Amino acid sequence: MTLQEQMDLLGWKDITTDRQIRNGTRIYRLPIKKYGQFIEVGSFESGYVRRMNGGYTPYQLNKCENYDHFYKEFKSHYTNDGDYEAKWTGKYNKCVLKRRILIDNEVDRLEYLIAFCLKNYYINQANMIEDGKFIPKWKYENELQYARKLEDKACNPEVKVIINGQRYNVI
């Protein structure tokens, strides 16, 4: 199945502007709403895939990798003159940072984007209804259990009588 057929099957709508096409960017609108807006995702010529969340910076969806960064260790102090002085101790400190793994090929970016959206938006949010009618399973089960207890009490009313401090059930 081609990428276009997969996108059509998932209901993706291409909303890319002419300027974005010239820049090598493709933007798609998914038929799923989150926070009251349709989800939009994009593939960029720079190698990034992003969720266009309507904010200043679109959220990056690329996988991450750790890498080590070393920086010089300095010992600093104020001199008697009131000047600030920093001297290198001859040591390096290690810091583990993360960077995004870029996807160079557009076809690979779109395949990754489809797989990501299927997993995170179509499957994980399958039970969520945008208009607020979604009830978590635990809440449904608790309400059902409470309703059954009320029904049992209504069908089997218990009448109790206390005589000389002794409690008796009347059937």
Q: What is the pLDDT of residue 33?
A: 82
Nearest to 45 by CA among 29, 24, 61: 24
1 pLDDT higher than 70: yes
Q: What is the pLDDT of residue 128?
A: 57
Distance of CA 148 to the CA centre of its chain: 36
Question: What pLDDT, in 10s, does the model give residues 40-50?
Answer: 999 999 999 99
Q: Is 26 within the bounds of a domain? A: no
Residues 6+ apart with CB under 8 A from 36: 130
Take residue 81 and report the two structure tokens written for it: 């003159």
- Say how many domains are in the chain: 2
Q: Is 93 within the bounds of a domain? A: yes
For residue 150, the enclosing domain spans 137-170
Q: Is 27 within the bounds of a domain? A: no
Q: Is 157 within the bounds of a domain? A: yes
Residue 106 and residue 65: Cα distance in Å, rounded? Answer: 21
Q: Is 68 within the bounds of a domain? A: yes
Question: What pLDDT, in 10s, does the model give residues 144-155?
Answer: 888 888 777 666
| CA dist 65 → 5, 100, 102 (Å) | 32, 6, 10
| Final residue of a structural domain among 44, 73, 100 | 100
pTM (predicted TM-score)? 0.64
